[in-house]
Amino acid sequence: MPAVPSCLLKPVRDQFLALLPERVNRHPLGCHNPRIADEVVFDRLVQVLVFGCGYERVADERCSATTLRRRRDEWIELGVMEQLRLLALSAFDRMIGLDLEHLVADGCITKAPSGGECAGRSPVDRGKQGLKRSQLTEAQGIPLVTEPAPANVRDHTLLPATLDTYSELENVLGPLPKHPRLGLDADYDYRPVRDDLAERGIDARITRRGDKVPIQAGGRWVVERTNSWMNNFGKLRRCTERRRPPVEFYIALACAFVTIRHLLRRAWTHYRWDTRPRTPRIR
């Protein structure tokens, strides 16, 4: 049974392989062991992401755990996973359209039992090691920016870096709205946050601390739904990576799957194609 439905896995895998540079065999004698196919390694890394298991659990005689780690690091150095995420965002914007006039941001804390660069004492898990994701989405819940950080970092201190990364999307998506509306919860109700948003020209809708406001107010529920989508991936729900680059690698892959899944569901009502399924439900 595949880790994700084939209608999701195949297009993501094909686009990822198309981003890889052509590899030239430079062995002087040409007698080394044959290189494991990239599609085999990619499928195994998808299993690691979805199930959250160790590399040894998905390794076998066809592909070892060492090969998985080496190929992962090779792809991290090339930066192809971030390119894949940006291509998924661009495709969604062209076919459906990103609602960038309304943005929502929030933090999400998960477990990080192995510690590492992106781990810290979790304030909601008895001081155990945890990881926080600073999540920025547009009005439909499509993840735009996901910044990992230790769990003990305050949400409002991560917002400037998150917005800086969002501004870089202009190179991919084209001109961004000049005065978008940003929905935030009470964790961001601080004067430095309001001053920074005012300088950026962002219309902030921040819940006042102490006020009991339902999550539906201001459309903030979409970012909570996105956090739930991301937590469906076992590697993000319980991160065992100790270095920051592998964490960002798996976050980018998860964002690509979330974006493509939402694209397929929305495209079912907007387009017609030969292999269009009878239902928008992805199986």
pLDDT tens digits for range 93-141: 999 999 999 999 999 999 999 999 999 999 999 999 999 999 999 999 9
120-121 vs 129-138, strand pairing mode: antiparallel
**Token duo for residue 252:** 């980018």
Q: Which fold has domain 99-240?
A: Nucleotidyltransferase; domain 5 (3.30.420)
**Token duo for residue 254:** 């998860």
Three-class secondary structure of residue 203 per DSSP: strand
Q: Where are the domains of the chain?
A: 99-240
pLDDT higher than 70, residue 238: yes
- Which of 29-38, 60-69, 74-83, 115-124 is predicted least confidently? 29-38
Query: pLDDT at position 241, please?
Result: 95
pLDDT higher than 70, residue 185: yes
pLDDT higher than 60, residue 1: no
Contacts of 141 by beta carbon, 8 Å cutoff, 6+ apart: 222, 223, 225, 226, 229, 262
Query: pLDDT at position 19, please?
Result: 96
Query: pLDDT at position 30, please?
Result: 64
Contacts of 108 by beta carbon, 8 Å cutoff, 6+ apart: 132, 133, 135, 227, 230, 231
Q: How confident is the model at residue 35 (pLDDT cuts 50, 70, 90)?
A: confident
pLDDT tens digits for range 2-28: 789 988 999 999 999 999 998 877 767
Instruction: State the average pLDDT for the chain.
Output: 92
Mean pLDDT of 166-172: 94
pLDDT tens digits for range 256-283: 999 999 999 999 988 988 888 888 888 7
DSSP category for residue 217: G
pLDDT tens digits for range 190-205: 999 999 999 999 998 8
Q: How confident is the model at residue 29 (pLDDT cuts 50, 70, 90)?
A: low
Query: pLDDT at position 33, please?
Result: 77
pTM over 0.85: yes
pLDDT higher than 90, residue 217: no
